[in-house]
Amino acid sequence: MRSIAFQIFVVVALTLFISFIINNTATNLEKRGIASGFDFLSNISGFPISQSLVHYELTSTYGRVLTVGILNTLLVSAIGIVLATIIGFVIGVLRLAENWLVAKLATVYV
């Protein structure tokens, strides 16, 4: 019975703490005139991005910037995964080589 009461106490305390943090944050943002939300995504960004997979220009919105950033991240991740797989496979095979120097260099790399 004591363990159930302690769990209920912890859940209630955690709920009160989280609600206090949310209320305090909302109050402070309102006092300082800081807008929260996603309304800024329709504003014009006004800065260049050197590489994009979709059309982007200085007059594009922050929503387009977010799209370009996500696509660029996915591209770099895919390239990294492919290259890491190739390097890992080659080094793994080199560790099995009969040449002592090549096998030791591959082991040191790993």
Say how many Å lie between the first and final Cα of the chain, rounded: 53
DSSP-assigned beta bridge partners for residue 44: 61
Kindly report, residue by residue over 42-89, the tens digit of the pLDDT: 999 999 999 989 999 999 999 999 999 999 999 999 999 999 999 999
> Where exactly are the structural domains of the chain?
1-36, 41-110
Compute how many other C-beta atoms are within 10 angstroms of the C-beta atom of residue 2: 6
Q: Return the closest-CA partner of residue 92 out of 74, 106, 78.
A: 106
Kindly report, residue by residue over 15-28, the tens digit of the pLDDT: 999 999 999 999 99
